[in-house]
Amino acid sequence: MTEQLHWQKIHEINLKVRDNPNLINQLPYQIIQEIEKDPFLFKHPINNVLTSIRPVQDFEYHLQHKNIVFLLGGRGTGKTWAACNYVKTWIDHYALPQQEILYVGPTQSHFDLIKNDKMGLINQFPDYRRPVTYGKSQLFFDQEKHLTFISAEAFDRARSHNCSLTIFDELCIYNPADVEDIYNTVQEGNRIPSKIPAKTVICTTPKSIPFCQDLYKSDYVVPLKSKTEDNQTNLDPDWYKRLTDTYSGTTRAQQELEGDFLDCSTDFLFLKQHLKYIDLANHPQKAPGFCIALDPAVTKSNQSDEWGLIVAKSTVIAGQQALTVVADYSGRYSILDARNKIKGLLTTYPKSYLTIETNQGGDCWQVIFKDDPAFQNVFIETVRAKIGKFARAEFVSPLYEKGLIQFQMGKNFDELHKQMFSFTKLGKLKNDDRLDAFVYAAFSIFKLEELNDTSVRNIFTR
């Protein structure tokens, strides 16, 4: 018997014991010893020792009766780790020589993350069996079994792949206009019959996308849910506190912490009912100075984007870090006009610093500022948008809902509010530059980039 068949047999016994723990008393001692060595022990106790995989991550058990598992989870529940772990299970127990696994992620850079992390695809295997990277998108295992990664941004590449296992990681982060086409294109690639029925694993934090909601409820899918608190013992305490402080008591807690879909009708991130004004002169201020947030435009014409230009102040509300939007100076400016405008703002709002989005030509602004004496003593914070507009705004909306983001009384924010109250993931605003600058100001004052970066590092948490 080959090693693979040996472990598959032990694994089958292991599953039967998990379903009926009394069977453990009927097994020979040597079989119990073998089960204890099984690298894929699941949730039942052996010799009073519980296993490391939580029941919701036990894809092997859930795929016995249906071919698709759909795991919804709050942030930090270890969805991606569970997917990578199941890749190893599939390679060791089911994948035949020359078979392929297809792993679909939101972006190409996601592959580098899941491949090289200490709990990622490569490090799931012992040193002597680690897969070999081939090109930018493939891992090769023993017996020419291989995994191909495809970005959701280039999903047409999936048309020619016939796979024994398909992983959709962070399905709800894909472009919502394309998510149904992505799923169908990948699944339609399995045209050739296989000795082993093709399986599908979907792991994601939920978003209000109708196709995803319908798929989750379909009869041929095993639906699973996992809350962030269920995995609290494996999370960094500071990160967990920041996450729960951000979302607890807000509408989006159901999505981000509970791992459940919001009703599609609530997909607006910013609601008028939560809008609040204050008089900054009569309000506690967290620190001197102001944040001047910029979303630069590349050109100036009647059709050009606006320069998003928002002035904000770090304040305190009920003892908590808060933000007051002081003024909106957004408009269509040439580079020279924008520079002069910012010079004037630095005089109007002393001790200010700049937060500049650098995706669209923003890097050249650092050179322009250095050449101008007016900016020599000004702190310039550059921001590169690594996640989509909606994903960025999702970090800000719970703070707005809690009343921790307010607006200066007596100032005109009509255009900014029009963009805020029209913004959803399913609808593209014609103009959203003021909203972008507003979000960058919130990221800076609340230090949300730290929360976002840590959430990325914690996607493998068990």
Residue 39 has pLDDT above 60, yes or no: no
Could you report how far apart the first and last alpha carbons of the chain are, in Å? 33
Asked whether residue 5 falls in the same domain as residue 28, the answer is yes
Residue 335 shares a structural domain with residue 412: yes
Mean confidence (pLDDT) of the chain: 81
| Domains held by the chain: number | 3
Look up the CATH number of the domain holding residue 73.
3.40.50.300
Residues 186 and 72 in one domain: yes
Percent of the chain, pLDDT > 90? 32
What pLDDT shows up at residue 411? 93
Q: Are 318 and 278 in contact (CB under 8 A)?
A: no
User: For the stretch 95-117, what's the b/e string if a residue is b when 16 or more beta carbons lie within 10 angstroms of its beta carbon?
Assistant: beeebbbbbbbbbeebbebbbeb
Most confident of 8-17, 186-195, 305-314: 305-314
45 — pLDDT class (breaks 50, 70, 90): very low
- Averaged over 368-395, what is the pLDDT? 77
Rounded Cα gap, residues 197 and 147, in angstroms: 17
Q: Please, which pLDDT band fits residue 236 given cuts at 50, 70 and 90? A: confident
Residue 257 lies in a domain: no
**pLDDT value at 455 more than 70:** no
What phi and psi, each to the nearest 5 degrees, are found at residue 360? -110, 80
Residues 430 and 285 in one domain: yes
Is 352 strand, coil or helix?
A: coil
50, 65, 91 — which closes off a domain? 50
Listed as own residue / partner, the contacts of 232-240 with beta carbons closer than 8 Å and 24 or more positions apart are: 234/78, 234/461, 234/462, 235/76, 235/458, 235/461, 236/454, 236/458, 239/76, 239/451, 239/454, 239/455, 239/458, 240/76
Domain final residue, candidates 27, 50, 73: 50
State residue 49's pLDDT score.
Answer: 36
What pLDDT does 405 receive?
Answer: 95
What's residue 51's pLDDT? Answer: 40
Reported as a single tens digit per residue, the pLDDT across 396-450 is 999 999 999 999 999 999 999 999 988 876 655 667 889 999 999 999 998 887 6
Average pLDDT of the segment spanning 241-267: 84
C-alpha span between 248 and 265 (Å, rounded): 20
Decide if 325 is inside a domain: yes
**Does 116 map to a domain?**
yes
More confident residue, 67 or 263: 67
Domain of residue 14 covers: 1-50
CB atoms within 10 A of CB 413: 18
Which contiguous run of DSSP H or E holds residue 316? Answer: strand 308-317
**Chosen domain end from 244, 278, 297:** 244
- CATH code of residue 393: 3.30.420.240
pLDDT in tens, 152-169: 888 877 777 778 899 999
The per-residue pLDDT for 32 is 64
Whether residue 252 lies inside any domain: the answer is no
In a domain, 236, yes or no: yes
* Together in a domain, 206 and 300: no
Q: Assess whether 124 and 188 both reside in one domain.
A: yes
The helix/strand count (H/E) of the chain reads as 15, 15
Confidence bin at 225 (pLDDT 50/70/90): very high
Same domain, 291 and 345: yes
Do 356 and 402 lie in a common domain? yes
82-103 pLDDT tens trace? 999 899 888 887 877 888 899 9
- What is the widest separation between alpha-carbon atoms in the chain? 84
Q: Is residue 436 part of a domain?
A: yes
Q: How far is the C-alpha of 198 from the C-alpha of 58, rounded, in Å?
A: 17
> Has this prediction a pTM greater than 0.85?
no
Which pLDDT does position 198 carry in this prediction?
A: 85
Residue 211: which pLDDT band, with cuts at 50, 70 and 90? very high
Alpha-carbon dihedral 53, 55, 60, 65, rounded to 10 degrees: 180
| Domain annotation covers residue 263 | no
Residue 254 lies in a domain: no
Asked if residue 197 and residue 116 are part of one domain, the reply reads: yes
- Residue 34 CA to its chain's centroid (Å): 39
Q: Within this chain, do residues 150 and 235 fall inside the same structural domain, yes or no? A: yes
Same domain for 291 and 427? yes
Residue 405 is encoded by which pair of tokens? 């983001």
Q: Are residues 284 and 238 in the same domain?
A: no
Burial 376-408 (b: 16+ CB within 10 A, else e): eebeeeebebeeebbebbbbbbbbbbbebbbbb
- Residues forming a β-bridge with 226: 73
pLDDT, tens digit, for every residue of 268-300? 889 898 999 999 887 777 777 899 999 888 666
Residue 453 has pLDDT above 80, yes or no: no
Phi, psi of 180 (to 5 degrees): -65, -45
pLDDT, residue 457, reads: 44
Whole-angstrom CA distances from 345 to 46, 294, 352, 441 are: 68, 12, 9, 15
Q: Of 71, 99, 66, 80, nearest to 165 (Cα)?
A: 99
CA distances from 368 to 37, 364, 381, 441 (A): 64, 7, 15, 21
What's the pLDDT score for residue 460?
56
